[in-house]
Structure 1
Amino acid sequence: MEQDALAPVDGEFWLINNPDVKFRGRLMVEGGKSHLWVTGPLVSTTTTQIVSSKEEPVTTYVLRTPQPLPENATILGTLDRRGQVQYNEDVTLLECLCVNPGLSLPIPGSDHQEWLPRLIVRGTHADEVDPKFSRLQVRFAHLDEWAGPYVLSQLDGASDTDAEEIRRNLSASLADQGVVRLAREGIVTTSPAGDRNLRSAIWVEITGLKPMSFDELDRAYIAPLRTLLTLSLGKDCPPVEIQVGDDLLPVWFDIQPTPISPLTEDQLHSTMLLQCRDLGIQGIAHWLNRARLLGHLSHKVAAVVAGFGYTIENEVLDLATAAEGLHRRLHPDRQRFDKDLVEQARAAALQGCDDLEPKLQEAVKSALSHIADPSFRDRLHDLIDDCAAILPDVVGLRPKRWSSDIAEFRNRFAHELNKGHLNEKDILSCLACRESLRWLLLARLLIETGIPHEILSDRLGKHPRYTIFLRQAKNWSPRIYAEG
């Protein structure tokens, strides 16, 4: 199915671990963005307690206590029959985030809830919260024009008896495990005038894999294929249809992913972070006055804020680079050690280098030339201090662990120390690093507009994307953001 072919569909929905509580709802997928609205609370946002006073006359009242919302819920559903579909379709919604929990008031419609699923698996009810898949097939934009002639050359003049040989010619074994194959399928398209046409479509099919999550499939196979097509064709080739399955079952399930959080502004119906009246003309002038000092670093941060990054590795590396550069420009006189101590250390070290060959002496001198500079972690903690009154919780409960993670990922990505793909745990840690750096640097840059700190703190702290990030970070990086 095309990614926006599911907009909108009514059905019945329930949490995987609470099948007795079901509500009608509407699921919509459009442009890669997924929403679920349900007519009642799949999760209770409050606990209700009937309380009576001890004095006469006795007064009885209802006490409602807010309850924490689940961060990554799995929701099952049955979609209504529609159009050409002659059956009720099962659907599994994975990693759902409740962004509108309802008001729990005795008013019709007040308890409606809005959820954002990250993955939609159509055609099945998952029997576990984190399902694994061992088969994958994908259609990409422009894949037909790229691979079509090659596939047709293998089919040209072939008879039905050659089917197995053709299959072998279009297949190849992967180094670790599995087989990749180019497959052709006939699909029906409808023109604006209503005419139906049959054309062939090319899929990349990968089977025989060890069971893995969708994110692992994406990192190991979908993203590299997209990159290969993009490099080959000189234009972006995103996936337009994805199906997953298990080698034990002879069926494919459609999967519709929403790019991994952070959530887009449209999804959260959010307002702008700052309005012109927050800055005033003086704030605009102040920003322009600081533009030369900030240079290209503000553009790096803006690119990530606007979602221009291509991979999370690139975004984390760009933000870490921007953090170091921004610190150098804003704190040019920051020294790690006293100047006299640095000179004594250099003299002592160089004194022992007289017997070394010239190249080694140069290497030692080069290493000692930056001994007074703050470490990358020191620079990060200075930026944290700069923003402490504005975003006190952006780096979680353990700032030293946070800076350690940022430094580790920066070194891995800058020096290509990471072999292969990030594992699922690293992906989640990377997300926490990317989002926290995004907010920290955004706050630090906006300080340069001269906006009062209390206004900036209020706007950032109440921004829907920021509050959602703080919730998600507890799951992404619990060793930094979670209590205990």
Structure 2
Amino acid sequence: MTYVAQDEKTRRSGRFWLPDAPEKTVGGWLDLSSRWPLLILADPLTPSMREVSRSISADGTPFSTMVPTDDGQASDSLVIHGMIRNPSGRVTLVGAVTAGRSEIIGGVVRDPGEQRFRAEYVLVGPHQVGADATFTMARIRVKHLDSWANLPGIAMELAEDWSQITARYEKHEQASAVMAGGRELVLDEVVNLQEPTVLGAGFKRSVELRLNEPAGLTVDEWWRRFVTPMTELLTMAIGVPCPPVDLKLFRDENKEWVDVQHPQLREDSGDLLHAYQVFLARDRLTLDHLARWLEVAADLSPIPALVTETISAHERPLPSQLLEMTIAAEGLHRRLQPKAQVMTRGQKDRARKQAKEAVSEELKERVSEALMHIDAPSYIERLRYLTNLTREAIPQAAGLMVASQEEQKLDTTKGWEDRIKAVRNGFAHQAPRRDDAPDDKEWQEQVILLRTLYWVLAAALLLQTGVEPAKLRERIENYEPYRALLRQARQWLPAIYVVQPTCPPTEHLAASSTLED
């Protein structure tokens, strides 16, 4: 077997122990190169076998029945403390479970065996009690955050004869947004200096988002309430995937920052997008909007995750993406309008009663159950709420409202809604395909429906931040990826995307309040 040396930056040697037995330390290596942190120990921290029963044999000899420790309920996750070298520091492995063991039996000397642990995440800094540890402040960086912030303050001066080069940095005035409960969202800067050498010198500035939580949150809670909402919102705002790249937490008891090594953190490639590539930069989607999003994101989950996944899910089958988006549309309406009803409680009870009276005795219970949710909006009504909600902010995405040559109004938005409903019902109920959608063209229609439905849902979510519809519309009408989508839509789905309007679209005709789904 060939041994391949690991990068010292990701594989660090040290000694490790269990919090309740600090006197027993074991040497090993902490490997952070793979998605899940891996700890490889030269000796085991926990025994490989455990006793399940003890009895006396017929001749009076006591004996025990042993089974592998790592099997069954005994293989609970552990908290492991450690001290690593190069660079030196303290670490806490949280949710560590045995991933394997290696032992030589019958060798020259007794081999207690190697033990390998896989952890949920690692905290680099003061030792913590584990998953229950709470932190009162968090600092996060997500990919392309610098492109969204677009901060000024960096300049370079170059003499004509190159006799002098001066790089200048001026700290930007710190921006903040006050939130409920004494919380404050801050946009801050971090500057890293490059040590001067004979080869040169310089600095690098990056921005981060900082949020305080006086009550304290665990790592999982910070991830759910801060990291995930920010990555989802910025992904929609910037228009490309924006995974988290760095997370640091502050614990009042230690008065030190803890660096979180989490499987969902990604490498920061350092790519800087051009200003025109960013859909909504900080001048339109401000820090106040980000703070507002943190207030409402929990009530919208998991819809933002479904919507943003379409940006990066290029390898997934098109039908499955479209099905998820049609489901997300219904789910978003339910979260925005949780009490929406199309009839009163009295009307519902009377309708169910009359329906039960109109059928035979053996069908009464079935009819009653079928009409249990008769007061809820139909799918098409839920979809129409979303198209009306986003009409001013993102025109043309769901079709056009134009006048035909006969001066009759053509409601193509309703046609778009009908096709989305037909796709959803076709996937869910195996409805027959339409005659006007041959197999060789069906994928083109699905592409257009998927991408336009994304924009409708993304706009509906962005509006929850409080961003003005006019600012959203102003930007999207000049956003080239969206303009390219509309050009393609007119080619592949001309029945819905008829012509380019010369004036803003007006309200489309009020649709029937039918309850048919």
Q: Structure 1 length normalisation: TM-score?
A: 0.46
Q: Structure 2 length normalisation: TM-score?
A: 0.43
